[in-house]
């Protein structure tokens, strides 16, 4: 009986800790912890373990909820005709579902205990939202590349989303449960060690740090890894507006136009001249407003281009149904520039965290990207459509973008990729936040790695159950899905 009582007391203490951590007031903190000595901030991070023990990171006991209702709510404001494409992509497999269910996971994370260590989050840090991109100096870099959901929040939310994505991907490849956990542990261990290194560095050196393609190749685990990475880097270097124009455009009545590829790329249906004139005027007003968000020197560069054509483009799983335009510009009649004009909605995290301080969500996305990436697109900007009041952000299309095909990874490949993502996420948070504070919380033991690994496995189970719910709803006719 005494043993039972001792066990009950222990469980009660854990539950009280979780409850207190979950319901404790999370005080707004500046994203840059400039005041106080670095050692003091490091010890403040260690002290945060008392309020939110690292063992709490494993906690994944979540209440039931209506999966379809939450997904439907996340469709609010999307283009209705594109929603079936979104559901079709999510129904394809558990990873496709996970990519489209950021709003669902945000709801779940909000039910769990959380730290009070706030940082600028990417907001949707799954492994497919990391990849290669170009710096203004035309260097190929690796890091996070999707910031639609960026917002200030508890640092572990991004880590949990990234870690779970590795478990989901490992299961897609048929890897064992031990491999799933090992991959997550390697990601977390890398994140923890890199954060400790960043907290010891000069703050300018952290800001200037870049995870380059060359450094990726130099640290690859094997010659096979180097060959695979070199192939992806080589392809990325060839992806520019010059190469895009060859397959993305066509000549119509002597005019260069973006090629229609319905249902993924198509032109806005304009039935009469008056409507066409209104659309043209609206687009040109938008471009002029976007231009004003560029620095003066880049505005001078942008002014050398002339708008040639605009088409609608359907984008990735999580963004399907949001408004996205592909704009083609030309300089001197022969030098192309493709810009992506993408709708910026409120972050899925804003229902559960303090809202963005930016009135324009395009500015929220662009600022978050500049904070978190080691270098950002020279044409990154934002504006609001005068036609419908919707916020957009603008960036180049596929400018030296590259991604790894995780669906063909073996165990070693996935583990190596987990290392890359762990490094990249650590740098993003160290650049945007306070590496000393985060490193103090993470510590030198494997407690953080183990807690996140246990959570990731448990949440991957929940993701699979939610995926089955979606498939059942499609089969029952509650939801219409279009399979491409």
- For the stretch 377-424, pLDDT in tens is 999 999 998 878 999 999 999 899 999 999 999 999 999 999 999 999
Radius of gyration for the chain, computed over Cα atoms and rounded to the nearest angstrom: 23
Co-location of 283 and 189 in the same domain: no
Asked if residue 239 has pLDDT above 70, the reply is yes
Q: What is the pLDDT of residue 447?
A: 98
* Phi and psi angles of residue 58, each rounded to the nearest 5 degrees, phi first: -80, -15
Asked if residue 4 has pLDDT above 60, the reply is no
Residue 22 near residue 114, CB atoms below 8 Å: yes
CB atoms within 10 A of CB 407: 10
The arithmetic mean of pLDDT across residues 115-135, rounded, is: 96
Co-location of 184 and 84 in the same domain: yes
The arithmetic mean of pLDDT across residues 224-251, rounded, is: 90
Domain boundary among 374, 396, 418: 396
The arithmetic mean of pLDDT across residues 4-14, rounded, is: 35
Co-location of 247 and 192 in the same domain: no
Task: Assign 315 a pLDDT band (cuts: 50, 70, 90).
Answer: confident
Peptide bond between residue 263 and the one before it cis (omega within 30 degrees of 0): yes
Q: What is the pLDDT of residue 466?
A: 98
Q: What is the pLDDT of residue 281?
A: 86
Asked if residue 5 has pLDDT above 50, the reply is no
The arithmetic mean of pLDDT across residues 258-270, rounded, is: 87
Q: What is the pLDDT of residue 317?
A: 67
The arithmetic mean of pLDDT across residues 152-170, rounded, is: 98
Q: What is the pLDDT of residue 100?
A: 95
Q: What is the pLDDT of residue 224?
A: 84
- Domain extent at residue 42: 37-237+406-475
> Is 196 domain-assigned?
yes
Among 246, 269, 271, which Cα is nearest to 256's?
246
Co-location of 124 and 227 in the same domain: yes
> Is 19 domain-assigned?
no
Co-location of 440 and 381 in the same domain: no
Domain boundary among 371, 396, 421: 396
> Is 29 domain-assigned?
no
Asked if residue 113 has pLDDT above 70, the reply is yes
Q: What is the pLDDT of residue 34?
A: 53
The arithmetic mean of pLDDT across residues 227-235, rounded, is: 91
> Is 16 domain-assigned?
no
Co-location of 277 and 159 in the same domain: no
CB atoms within 10 A of CB 298: 17
Task: Assign 81 a pLDDT band (cuts: 50, 70, 90).
Answer: confident
The arithmetic mean of pLDDT across residues 301-305, rounded, is: 97
Co-location of 79 and 142 in the same domain: yes
> Is 31 domain-assigned?
no
Domain boundary among 378, 396, 414: 396
Q: What is the pLDDT of residue 274?
A: 84
Instruction: Spell 262-279 as b/e; 16+ CB within 10 A means b.
Output: eeebeeeeeeeeeeeeee
d(CA 141, CA 90): 29
Q: What is the mean pLDDT of the chain?
A: 90
d(CA 56, CA 49): 10
> Is 57 domain-assigned?
yes
Most confident listed range (218-222, 268-272, 281-285): 281-285
Q: What is the pLDDT of residue 475?
A: 96
Task: Compute the CA torsion angle 275, 281, 283, 289 (nearest 10 deg).
Answer: -150
Higher pLDDT among residues 279 and 380, named by residue: 380
Asked if residue 273 has pLDDT above 90, the reply is no
Lowest mean pLDDT among 35-39, 126-130, 329-333: 35-39
CB atoms within 10 A of CB 27: 7
Strand residues in 13-84 grouped as ranges (E): none
d(CA 69, CA 66): 5
Cα 233 from chain centroid (whole Å): 20
Among 379, 390, 312, which Cα is nearest to 346's?
390
Co-location of 175 and 99 in the same domain: yes
Q: What is the pLDDT of residue 438?
A: 98
Asked if residue 478 has pLDDT above 70, the reply is yes
Signed CA dihedral, 171, 74, 148, 364: sign only: negative
> Is 6 domain-assigned?
no
* Phi and psi angles of residue 151, each rounded to the nearest 5 degrees, phi first: -170, 155
The arithmetic mean of pLDDT across residues 445-469, rounded, is: 98
Q: What is the pLDDT of residue 132?
A: 96
Co-location of 201 and 257 in the same domain: no
Co-location of 359 and 219 in the same domain: no
Co-location of 423 and 436 in the same domain: yes
Asked if residue 263 has pLDDT above 90, the reply is no
Q: What is the pLDDT of residue 35?
A: 54
Task: Assign 362 a pLDDT band (cuts: 50, 70, 90).
Answer: very high
Name the residue with tokens 């400790």. Answer: 196
> Is 15 domain-assigned?
no
Co-location of 230 and 174 in the same domain: yes
Task: Assign 190 a pLDDT band (cuts: 50, 70, 90).
Answer: very high
Number of domains composing the chain: 2
The arithmetic mean of pLDDT across residues 429-450, rounded, is: 97
């Amino acid at each position: 009986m005494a043993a039972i009582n001792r066990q009950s007391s222990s469980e009660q203490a854990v539950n009280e800790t979780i409850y207190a951590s979950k319901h404790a007031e999370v005080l707004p903190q500046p994203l840059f912890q400039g005041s106080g000595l670095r050692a003091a901030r490091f010890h403040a991070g260690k002290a945060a373990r008392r309020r939110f023990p690292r063992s709490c990171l494993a906690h994944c006991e979540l209440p039931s909820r209506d999966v379809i209702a939450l997904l439907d709510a996340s469709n609010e404001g999307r283009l209705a005709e594109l929603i079936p494409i979104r559901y079709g992509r999510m129904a394809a497999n558990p990873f496709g579902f996970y990519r489209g269910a950021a709003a669902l996971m945000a709801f779940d994370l909000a039910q769990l205990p959380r730290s009070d260590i706030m940082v600028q989050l990417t907001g949707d840090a799954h492994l497919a939202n990391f990849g290669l991109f170009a710096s203004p100096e035309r260097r190929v870099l690796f890091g996070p590349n999707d910031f639609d959901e960026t917002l200030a929040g508890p640092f572990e939310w991004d880590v949990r989303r990234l870690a779970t994505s590795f478990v989901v991907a490992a299961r897609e490849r048929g890897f064992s449960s031990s491999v799933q956990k090992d991959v997550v542990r390697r990601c977390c261990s890398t994140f923890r060690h890199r954060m400790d290194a960043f907290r010891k560095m000069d703050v300018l050196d952290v800001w200037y740090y870049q995870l380059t393609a060359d450094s990726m190749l130099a640290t690859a685990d094997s010659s096979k890894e180097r060959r695979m990475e070199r192939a992806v880097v080589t392809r990325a270097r060839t992806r520019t507006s010059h190469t895009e124009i060859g397959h993305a455009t066509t000549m119509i009545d002597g005019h260069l136009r973006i090629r229609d590829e319905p249902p993924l790329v198509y032109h806005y249906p304009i039935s009469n001249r008056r409507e066409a004139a209104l659309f043209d005027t609206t687009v040109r007003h938008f471009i002029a407003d976007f231009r004003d968000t560029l620095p003066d020197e880049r505005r001078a560069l942008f002014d050398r281009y002339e708008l040639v054509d605009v088409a609608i483009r359907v984008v990735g799983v999580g963004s399907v149904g949001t408004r996205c335009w592909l704009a083609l510009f030309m300089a001197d009649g022969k030098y192309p520039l493709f810009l992506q004009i993408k709708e910026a909605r409120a972050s899925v995290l804003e229902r559960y965290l303090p809202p963005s301080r930016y009135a324009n969500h395009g500015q929220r996305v662009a600022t978050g990207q500049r904070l978190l990436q080691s270098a950002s697109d020279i044409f990154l900007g934002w504006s609001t459509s005068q036609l419908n009041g919707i916020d957009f952000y603008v960036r180049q299309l596929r400018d030296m973008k590259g991604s790894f095909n995780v669906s063909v990874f073996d165990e070693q490949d996935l583990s190596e990729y987990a290392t890359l993502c762990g490094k990249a996420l650590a740098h993003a948070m160290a650049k945007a936040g306070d590496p000393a504070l985060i490193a103090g919380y993470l510590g030198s033991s494997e407690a953080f790695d183990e807690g996140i690994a246990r959570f990731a496995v448990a949440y991957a189970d929940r993701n699979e159950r939610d995926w089955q719910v979606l498939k059942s709803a499609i089969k029952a006719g509650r939801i219409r899905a279009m399979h491409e």
